[in-house]
Amino acid sequence: MLERIFKLREHGTTIGREIVAGFTTFAAMAYILAVNPEILAQAGMPEGALLTATAIGAALATLLMAALTNFPIALAPGMGINAFFAFSICVGMGVPWQSALGLVFVNGFIFLLLSLTKVREKIVDAIPPSLKIAVTAGIGFFIAFIGLKDGGLVVSNPATMVTMGNLASPPVALFFCGLLVMAALITLRIPGAIILSILGITIAGVFIPDGKGAFITKWPDAIISAPASIEPSFLKLNFHLFTSDPLRAVALTLTLLIVDMFDNIGSLIAVTRRAGLTEANGKIPRVGRAFIADSTAAIGSSLLGTSTVVTYIESATGVQAGGRTGLTAAVTALCFLAALVFTPIFLAVPAVAVAPALVMVGVFMFEEVTALKSDDMVDFAPAVLTILMMPLAFSISTGMGVGILALVVLAVATERRERLHPVILTLAAVFLLHFLQEPLLAALK
């Protein structure tokens, strides 16, 4: 039956190899079960329900990808998008998380419509490669900055804005040591390096005082339990922002859409190439089905009560272990469901154990910056501004908006009309109105 469904012989693989690859992919991705609830809880969302929604969303989306494409690709709530959801939309702009879930739903619905047409390809083609690279690198910079802040290695300072934290503090020292160990394990290509490091830091925290009369890690009441109820977040989305502040809602939805598309496209290309699944001309077979799976997953994530589910670049670890078909993805999905019974362990993971994972994921994403070329300032300057503004303004959307506006201004000044694609001009207009909406509204009053 498995041979008939997944065509194992045709892809030169075996059931055993696919199972090992599936476990390997899960080991590389399992950190999201601790990291995603930690990030989104800062938006006021219920942490227990978030863990359940994260696991179920990842499992269902990964099974859908396996069924539609037979690719060894897994999905889960995206790093970067969850930070944008929590810190930019909810904390930074004061948008209730229920309304932010509504943005995720609309983004997924638009993405699905674009996936069923050729419009998606036109939008992707219209964005210069330099800005695509900058978005990924900038989000990586942003995530790493959040990790350093959560770990206490970077703190606020009224004179210098930010400064180094107190390494003599036990939590900060544990974070810093954990970060170095995690980086070493990743460098040595140890399978599951991120989740192993998180577990190691969590266990060490049981014996290390936090300096406030307790220990860094609070030992859970149980190891195994029934999953936390998903009811507090399930179907709690609303669309109030589209009626109360439509301009902001449109700008945020466009940002989610662009980040979602670029994240999925980049990961899809990287994993399929590594698995040898691309065609001779470089095209990805069944790419339309892959985008349908991605967009459907985004819609489903908003209903479950978590940020956008996307294709994960960590799927490449399973490919490296020999995975070539959807059976690898199916095994990974089952692992996510099985992990639900260990909810107390994941909820006991302290912030200083999760923070190194944020930093390292940010480092992986920032690697894209090496592809930027500095010989053309019309492309290079907007890309650098995008990367800088994301962490410094603590907003992914601000970084993207500044980069797009800079591109338009430089293209006009240098008469580079080929850069003034209608899609770019439309995005620039939306972001400009978004940035100026408060003074414009004040002037109208």
Q: Where are the domains of the chain?
A: 2-370
Residue 40 DSSP SS3? helix
Residue 165 DSSP SS3? coil
Query: Of 51, 431, 442, which is closest to residue 229 (Cα–Cα)?
Result: 51
pLDDT at position 177: 94
- CB-count burial class (<10 Å; 0-12, 13-18, 19+) for 380: middle
d(CA 416, CA 407): 10
d(CA 256, CA 260): 6
205 close to 217: Cβ distance less than 8 angstroms? yes
pLDDT at position 153: 93
pTM: predicted TM-score of the whole model, two decimal places: 0.70
pLDDT at position 444: 53
Residue 215 DSSP SS3? strand
Query: Of 315, 259, 250, which is closest to residue 142 (Cα–Cα)?
Result: 259
pLDDT at position 406: 94
Indicate the DSSP class of residue 417: G
Mean pLDDT by 10 residues, the chain (445 residues): 80 82 78 86 89 93 91 86 86 90 92 80 72 79 84 90 91 94 90 80 90 84 81 91 87 80 68 69 72 89 91 74 84 90 77 82 81 88 91 78 91 87 84 72 56
219, 236, 239, 297 from 112: Cα distances, Å: 43, 21, 18, 10
Query: Of 392, 346, 235, 206, which is closest to residue 299 (Cα–Cα)?
Result: 235
341 close to 227: Cβ distance less than 8 angstroms? yes
The encoded tokens of residue 327 equal: 């059976």
pLDDT at position 381: 93
